[in-house]
Amino acid sequence: MNFFRKILLIVLFGFMAPVSHAALTIEITEGVESAVPVAIVPFASQGSPVNISSVVNADLGRSGYFKMMDEQGMPSRPSTAAEVNFKDWQGLGQNYLVIGQVSETGGGQYNVQFQLLDVFKGEQLLGYRMTSSAADLRRTAHHISDLIFEKLTGKKGVFSGRIAYITTDNQGNKQQLHQLQVADADGFNPQTVASSVEPLMSPSWSPDGKKMAYVSFEKKSAAIYVQTLATGERARIAEFRGINGAPAWSPDGTRLALTLSKDGSPDIYILSLASRSLTKLTRSFAIDTEPAWSPDGSNIVFTSDRGGNPQLYMVPSQGGQEKRLTFSGDYNAGASFSPDGKNIAMVHGNGNDYRIAVMDLATKTVNVLTGGRSDESPSFAPNGTMILYASKKGRTGYLSAVSLDGKMQQKLVFNSGEVREPSWAP
């Protein structure tokens, strides 16, 4: 959603909405050319309610870094290293082999063990044994994927993470159901955080992943809420006259940066969650919105049209001189910092073309990553390798992800409804 449309919708609160329990599938639309061959052998299992090896296979496959072997082509089904004939797997061009076992120990508990083997060296690279409840078996599978991914790429995996997003479902009688949902990174286990026939927007994770800040129009005007995910307990923390929007957590979790128009034009404010005291950070007759904290908490990047069109600016979080960051393109908005603070993802526009781009803060070089015409709401993965964003085809909104170098693309497809404003959990 472009900058001016978003402001207009905040004021008029008339826009699209969220879905109820939409199932999500992930399609790889472009992978890494040098994808590494990996075979995940079906784990030997005694009554496990979750197919651990299938989850791991899907995780690694959709990362785009690996070429997964089809189970039908496997020469054998070993579950221990002693059963592996490495020459068979070498002949099939497999670089790595994952084998494992799942066994029930009683009381709803399971032992899960796996080994990652280097096929050409004929040796073990990883070996773990862990205990899991039946309810946590999928999470255990994602943890195994993270361990394997990090061992083979040197980068932390994000398969155990979660994503938040807003969905839209038409309910008939011209009414729409808006939902803020949280799901596993692979789209499973969606949970509804908030639901309303009035718009919801701008979900923002707390640094510890336990709370969510968001904007709701449930009382016919904009208000910002903070909700504890485990209990559903929530508090209305900003309901001033005019715009209450774009909440963003400070890295220490004690403050929120907000967009408020209570004094006239929209400006960036800092709200202390303990004292509820407000500090006005920008003072402009223009529209200042979409604050994003640097990982060290020292600066805030925000979107402003003070120069005539939307561009990104930076200001110290304690107050001080504001500095313009972006100059290429006639539209730059919706900043998201990489976890290491070295890059900023943004919506980069020329004319009516809006794409996801990344700026290197050291060189100010802008690299356009996507080819869509209506891409928006970028959110960095916690390992900094991927950017989740919203896109559109016609009137249908969906989520996508792109690697930091633009070489790997994913499309996250829901079985119904409209999806927008994704946010990756810390």
Structural domain boundaries of the chain? 3-17+161-424, 34-153
Which residues have CB under 8 Å from 70's CB, separation 6+?
none
Mean pLDDT over 97-106 rounds to 95
Residue pair 365/327 in contact (Cβ under 8 Å)? The answer is: no
Give the pLDDT band (50/70/90) at residue 1.
low
Instruction: Indicate if the pLDDT at residue 170 is higher than 90.
Output: no
For residue 107, the model assigns a pLDDT of 87
For residue 173, the model assigns a pLDDT of 75
Q: For the chain, how big is the Rg over CA atoms in Å?
A: 23
For residue 76, the model assigns a pLDDT of 96
What does DSSP say about strands 299-304 and 386-393: parallel, antiparallel, or unpaired? unpaired
Instruction: Indicate if the pLDDT at residue 12 is higher than 50.
Output: no
Q: Determine which of 83-87, 188-192, 410-414 has the lowest per-residue pLDDT on average.
A: 410-414
Instruction: Indicate if the pLDDT at residue 18 is higher than 50.
Output: no
For residue 106, the model assigns a pLDDT of 86
User: Dihedral, CA atoms, 234, 4, 272, 284, nearest 10 degrees?
Assistant: -160
Mean pLDDT over 332-355 rounds to 95
Instruction: Indicate if the pLDDT at residue 224 is higher than 70.
Output: yes
For residue 10, the model assigns a pLDDT of 45
Instruction: Indicate if the pLDDT at residue 313 is higher than 80.
Output: yes
Tokens encoding 355: 């794409």
Give the pLDDT band (50/70/90) at residue 371.
confident
3 state SS of 75: coil
Q: Where in 107-232 does DSSP place strands (E)?
A: 109-118, 123-133, 162-172, 175-184, 191-196, 200-205, 211-216, 223-228
User: For the chain, what is the largest distance between any 2 Cα atoms, rounded to a whole number of angstroms?
Assistant: 73
Give the pLDDT band (50/70/90) at residue 26.
low
Q: Determine which of 214-218, 405-409, 416-420 has the lowest per-residue pLDDT on average.
A: 416-420
Q: Which of 270, 247, 275, 274 is nearest to 318 (CA)?
A: 270
For residue 6, the model assigns a pLDDT of 54
Give the pLDDT band (50/70/90) at residue 407.
confident
b/e 295-331 (16+ beta carbons within 10 angstroms → b) = eeeebbbbbbbbeeebbbbbbebeeeebeebbeebeb
Q: Using CA atoms, how far apart are residues 235 and 378, in angstroms rounded to an integer?
A: 27
Mean pLDDT over 202-210 rounds to 97
For residue 3, the model assigns a pLDDT of 52
Q: Which of 87, 85, 95, 84 is nearest to 151 (CA)?
A: 95
Residue pair 302/289 in contact (Cβ under 8 Å)? The answer is: yes
Q: Using CA atoms, how far apart are residues 359 and 326, in angstroms rounded to an integer?
A: 9
Residue pair 350/329 in contact (Cβ under 8 Å)? The answer is: yes
CATH architecture of structural domain 3-17+161-424 = 6 Propeller (2.120)
Give the pLDDT band (50/70/90) at residue 422.
very high
Q: Using CA atoms, how far apart are residues 147 and 201, in angstroms rounded to an integer?
A: 34
Higher-confidence residue of 238 and 173: namely 238
Angle at 216 between CA 210 and CA 218, to 5 degrees: 125
Mean pLDDT over 241-263 rounds to 97
Instruction: Indicate if the pLDDT at residue 174 is higher than 70.
Output: yes
Residue pair 62/401 in contact (Cβ under 8 Å)? The answer is: no
For residue 281, the model assigns a pLDDT of 96
> Percentage of the chain with pLDDT > 90?
76
Angle at 206 between CA 347 and CA 398, to 5 degrees: 40
**Type of residue found at 136:** D
Mean pLDDT over 47-69 rounds to 92
For residue 28, the model assigns a pLDDT of 55
> Percentage of the chain with pLDDT > 70?
91
Which residues lie across from 175 on neighbouring strands?
Answer: 172
Instruction: Indicate if the pLDDT at residue 147 is higher than 90.
Output: yes
Residue carrying the six token digits 């609160």: 13
Instruction: Indicate if the pLDDT at residue 9 is higher than 80.
Output: no
3 state SS of 169: strand
For residue 32, the model assigns a pLDDT of 62
For residue 11, the model assigns a pLDDT of 44
CA 299 and chain centroid, separation? 22
For residue 406, the model assigns a pLDDT of 87
Residues found in the chain: 426
Q: Determine which of 247-251, 300-304, 369-373, 376-380 has the lowest per-residue pLDDT on average.
A: 369-373
**394 dihedral zone (left: phi>0; alpha: psi -120 to 50; beta):** left
- CA distances in angstroms from 281 to 16, 276, 303, 393, listed in the order given: 31, 15, 13, 37
Q: Which of 353, 378, 379, 356 is nearest to 367 (CA)?
A: 356
For residue 85, the model assigns a pLDDT of 97
Residue carrying the six token digits 């110290």: 316
Q: Which CATH superfamily is domain 34-153 in?
A: TolB, N-terminal domain (3.40.50.10070)
What does DSSP say about strands 44-46 and 96-106: parallel, antiparallel, or unpaired? parallel
